[in-house]
Amino acid sequence: MPKVVLISILPADIERLVLEYAPEGYETVAIAASLPEAEKMAVTHDADFLIVYRTGVSEELLKASPNVKLIQLLSAGYDRIDLDMTRRYNVPVSNNGGANSWAVAEATIGLMLGVLRRLVEADSFVRAGRWRGSIEGFDTYELAGKTVGIVGLGNIGKKVAQRLHGFETVLRYTDAFPADPAFEAQYGLERRSLEDLLAEADILTLHVPLLASTKRMIGREQLAMMKPSAALINTCRGDVIDEDALIEALQQGTIRAAGLDVFDQEPIAKDNPLLSMPNVMLSGHLAGTTYDTFFRRAAFAFENIAGMVAGNPPMAVVTEQ
């Protein structure tokens, strides 16, 4: 009987939702990520699989849990896991296989609409009795006809492209690997270098994992290549952008606006200049987290685990950090 331990920050009702996807006969236990390591190890010492959400796995815990065959993440991102360490213990790490890509894609488009139509400002003006405030109408913009540059065409990037196609946007992307030609043709996608994408895009949206190669990939040099009228959207990881350079670019008008769900420091520092900028729309690393996503996250996690129990290799294994 496989034993699966869920280690997370999730509330009890969502923990139950996730563990209900376990096949019949599995032993399942949920423990809080905040527990001391000794208390965690008392539960995981005989575990066959770990399901993890918004926390790491220490070497101490992995060493004390010799039966673990897989660390299954409920998230897409895996920067909380030391892959060099897990390789030493021959334990693969899988992410959620795109289970939250619907949520992130929708949030991404929400941020685009928010910054183009100045929706947060519009709401605040009405609530303050100022009706339209400083918004005259001709200083807001439509998505239709805009060139959107997608940096990273993985599970999330593809869903962003599919949804933006309905907005009648012009779609361009950059990725280490070209997309399937049929997918490109269906959604009018054209591949560009990052440099060409920066110069062409009215909206640049980031959908890459945080790796050594993507850390600070958008800095002063890259921001200077963008149109002064451009907006930058980030729903992947804060460290993909040089935040100081972005603040400077927004203050100086190098780019017009930004929609940000992720930051260098989370929660964001109270003195961060981004908080006082009217041309920035902010959310607190919420893009990928909806109630609906946990059905898909849980289903994928236990499909992957059951596959390994049946002798199949794990799916969605992450290899680069």
Whether residue 37 lies in the annotated active site: no
Kind and range of the H or E run holding 183: helix 181-187
Q: Do domains 3-99+291-309 and 101-282 have the same CATH topology?
A: yes
- Which amino acid, residue 88? R
Mean pLDDT of 7-18: 97
Domain spans of the chain, in order of start: 3-99+291-309, 101-282
pTM to 2 decimal places: 0.92
Candidates 206, 185, 196; CA nearest to 227 is 196
Whether residue 59 lies in the annotated active site: no
Q: Which of 172, 192, 285, 296 is catalytic?
A: 285
Mean pLDDT of the chain: 97
At 110, the pLDDT band (50, 70, 90 cuts) reads: very high
Q: Which of 168, 266, 303, 320 is catalytic?
A: 266
Q: pLDDT (tens digit, 9 = 90+) per residue, 196-231?
A: 999 999 999 999 999 999 999 999 999 999 999 999
Q: What is the pLDDT of residue 88?
A: 97
Q: What is the pLDDT of residue 161?
A: 98
Is 3-99+291-309 assigned to CATH 3.40.50.620? no
At 320, the pLDDT band (50, 70, 90 cuts) reads: confident
Residues 6+ apart with CB under 8 A from 293: 99, 100, 102, 103
Q: What is the pLDDT of residue 80?
A: 93
Residue 321 has pLDDT above 90, yes or no: no
Is residue 95 classed as helix, strand or coil in its secondary structure?
Answer: coil
Q: What is the pLDDT of residue 286?
A: 96
Is 101-282 assigned to CATH 3.10.580.10? no
Q: pLDDT (tens digit, 9 = 90+) per residue, 20-62?
A: 999 999 999 999 999 999 999 999 999 999 999 999 999 999 9
Q: Which of 237, 256, 296, 297 is catalytic?
A: 237
Whether residue 165 lies in the annotated active site: no
Q: pLDDT (tens digit, 9 = 90+) per residue, 130-158?
A: 999 999 999 999 999 999 999 999 999 99
Query: Residue 228: what are its φ and ψ, rounded to 5°?
Result: -60, -20
